[in-house]
Amino acid sequence: MRAPATDRGRLLCLLALAVAVGVFTATVPLLRGWFDLRVYYGTVDTWVHHGGRIYDYRVPGTAYGFTYPPFAAVGMLPMALVGLPTAIVVGFALNLAALAFVVWVLVGPALRRYGWFGFAVAGCLLALFEPVRDTFSFGQVNLLLLGLVLSDAWLLSTGRGRRAGVGIGLAAAVKLTPALFIGLLLLARRPRAAAVATAVAAAATALAAWIAPDASRFYWTDALWDTDRIGRLGYVSNQSLQGVLARLVAPDEPSRAVWAIVALLVMCVWVWRTTRALAESDWTAAFALTGLTACLVSPITWVHHLVWLLPSFAVLLHRRRLRVAGALYAVLCSSVVWLWFDDASGLDGFLGSNTYTWITLGLLLWLPVGQPRAERAALSRSARATPPAPIPAAPAIPAASGQLVPSSCGDAGAAGRAEGPAAGTPRVSISEPTGSTCPDALNPQSSSERASSYTANPSPS
């Protein structure tokens, strides 16, 4: 990326980009009117102020109601203290903060080279990205969950793994899809972080059960297993593997056995590729692959859920796959799947209506993981070229004339004999050598040895 040379040029470029984003957003007829946030607000308002039950509420004129675990409703209780317009403003601000954190974690160091201009351009480009655009327009929680999960990725990649797990645990308590990241922690052999995540998710779920026992009982025994509460499996916005199968056999119901087999194969690919990424301490790729897999195996993955693809784009940018990243970004800005909103039959329907699923699957199979070959070669050459730390020589202790230096002192003893006192030096008679005559053996755990080891083989982050 080559930025304009002057601040005036940067400002003009940014204004032009902002205008283009505004025109696009105003003319594409896919604004959602904060629909999901209205579901959240109506559910909490009915529960707190009107004695209603969490899973009985429906948005007037629709069949849509609250579909998340009870802890999500508990976390949204502050909405009961404000009006809907205030809730919309706060929700927008929280999503904006979450997006800023996600960008900072994924590509912050690269953007800092361009200062304010880099972050402003990134914001404009993300405003065009359909999953992000839909998350803001629906008033959804996906970016908040992604931010929670990536907070653990940041801790693990910066050597603060002992504190990791809380973000993943909270995200899994709000929505079930992020629970797959606990499996990632187990694959990474981070049992402490996995235990923390599990404990946080369990504690949050238990808290919700204490606050809303009837709603918790209904959710875990009934609502969880009823996908019709969320929406039609064959709806074009469902870009999961189950959505592909549902559109393929519509109007019939897709086979759960076939879906289970396909999902199992995808999980095997995830384990294989993620294990390779973890072997090279590539945490960004490991989290990216897990997000892709969660989108594929979830029964329902609406388009706005695909913000979980953002870590994959960060990997492509870090690996200089700019053309691939640009092409996939353009497709995911285009809303192309909605061309088959009414009819997804035929070969064109099979390919076109599932475009985002094919992108997710392709990224799972071919996303670059680990260190690039050039970087590995450079690290290897650097390790070979790093000279070992010098071994401090033992102090030469002159041997008195006639003194026998023990042979176990090796070269030090020879040095003592060679550098004996000159003629005329008074001789001191010593019957046997003292312990100080023989220098101590080199301590293999000395600081100089550790420095040499870390230089040649840098510890993984």
Q: What is the pLDDT of residues 283-309, one digit of tens each?
A: 999 999 999 999 999 999 999 999 999
In a domain, 423, yes or no: no
In a domain, 215, yes or no: no
List of long-range contacts for 321-324, beta carbons under 8 Å, 24+ apart: 321/368
Q: Are 169 and 204 in contact (CB under 8 A)?
A: yes
Number of structural domains in the chain: 1
Query: For the CA atoms of 348, 353, 359, 360, what is the dihedral angle to 10 degrees?
Result: -140
pLDDT of amino acid 206: 97
Which conformational region is residue 147 in: left (phi greater than 0), alpha (psi within -120 to 50 degrees), or beta? alpha
In a domain, 45, yes or no: no
Give the SS3 label for residue 213.
helix
Q: Are 137 and 33 in contact (CB under 8 A)?
A: yes
pLDDT of amino acid 332: 96
In a domain, 40, yes or no: no
Report, in angstroms and rounded to the nearest whole number, the Rg of the chain calculated over CA atoms: 31
Q: What is the pTM of this model?
A: 0.79
In a domain, 147, yes or no: no
State the residue for tokens 């972050």. 119
Domain coverage including residue 231 = 226-369
Evaluated on CA atoms 442, 443, 447, 450, the torsion sign reads positive
In a domain, 387, yes or no: no
User: Residue 251, preceding bond cis, omega within 30 degrees?
Assistant: yes
For residue 33, pLDDT beyond 90: no
Residue 373 pLDDT grade (very low, low, confident, very high; cuts 50, 70, 90): low
In a domain, 70, yes or no: no
Mean pLDDT on 171-196: 96
The first and second tokens of residue 171, run together, are 């995200």
DSSP single-letter state for residue 202: H
In a domain, 430, yes or no: no
Hey, how many other C-beta atoms are within 10 angstroms of the C-beta on 430? 13
Distance of alpha carbon 212 from alpha carbon 356, whole angstroms: 37
Nearest of 25, 461, 44 to residue 284 by alpha carbon: 461
